[in-house]
Structure 1
Amino acid sequence: MSTPRQADITCRRHFLRDGFAEIIYERLSRKKIDKFVNVAINCDKAGGFSIEGRGAFIFDNIEGSFYNILGLPMMKLNELFEKLGAPLL
């Protein structure tokens, strides 16, 4: 018979997934930067920019997962839930 602490430890599972994403910015002139800042509404965005919409004009390339930049990487999340026996789809 196990103690409650032992039962807690044996029932606990840890899952770790990481994702990589790198944004490569376009080389922007001061004029383009000023225009982007004045036109784009980004005060409510993490990092001060949105990769969608007008934000796409300042990025040259994305390496890695677009969803890691956008927010929650749903495919990785679904993989974790599948391992727990409760897939999202």
Structure 2
Amino acid sequence: MTTELIVLASASPRRSELLESAGITFRVAPADINEDALPEEEPIDYVLRLAEGKARASAENESSGRFFVGADTIVLCDGEIMGKPKDRADAERMLRKLSGVAHEVVTGFALYDKERKGVVREAIRTKVFFKQLREEEIQSYIDTGCPFDKAGAYAIQGGAAHMVQKIDGSYTNVVGLPLCEVVAALRVMGALP
């Protein structure tokens, strides 16, 4: 497959690394869309809408490429949708709320076939269990700057690995792209042999 066939509609280095780890050849063409939730929108509907919106927006902006991969990840804790923190206080609030409790990481992904005008969408859920965090752990983690571009203010693959006691489900989903399911969908759509 040529680089022109598969396009990742995301600037996330983590999503790129995951696709590369699967041996997939692709190029990156991020899409900029409004990520505000709609009134009374369910979390699954929200991530699926954003994932598809990113894939379609990238396809509209690009003259080459056939299969466009969009994704969006959120953290769900006690009914709250946690996206990326707005500032330090928001990151502190999120990490305190996640401390000592289980929560869900939900990633919606969409594969848009520009040639056939078809789309495949799926949302993957992973349960994550955090240990009880000490205040100094929260502060020192925030000091690294890592929380500010991560849903729920943490990255399991980085400095927050020690906060996670266990997970139930896809590890790559928590990183930002459920790789097993994405690869399977790319095969079904004919993007991969």
**How far, CA to CA, are the matches of 1:40 and 1:59 in structure 2?**
18
Q: 1:77–1:39: structure 2 CA closer, same or farther, 3 Å change rule?
A: closer
Larger % of helix: which? Answer: 1
What is the aligned counterpart of 1:45 among 117, 136, 150? 150
1:47-81 deviation line (CA, Å, top 9, x unaligned): 21111221101111111001111111222112112
- Which residue does 2:57 correspond to in 1? none
Larger % of strand: which? Answer: 2
Contact 2:173–2:179 at 8 Å: present in 1 too?
Answer: no
2:176 equivalent to 1:71: yes
- Which residue does 1:27 correspond to in 2? 132
Give me the TM-score of the superposition, normalised by structure 1.
0.66
How high is the sequence identity, in percent, across the aligned residues? 23
1:21-68 deviation line (CA, Å, top 9, x unaligned): 011001122232233223452212222111122110111111100111
The one-letter code matched in structure 2 to 1:63 is D
Q: CA RMSD in A?
A: 2.3
Unaligned runs of 5+ in 1: 1-10
Please identify, of 27-36 and 61-70, the stretch whose mean Cα deviation from structure 2 is larger. Answer: 27-36
Unaligned runs of 5+ in 2: 1-115
- Which residue does 1:5 correspond to in 2? none
Contact 1:40–1:54 at 8 Å: present in 2 too?
Answer: no
Give me the TM-score of the superposition, normalised by structure 2.
0.35
How many residues align structurally? 78
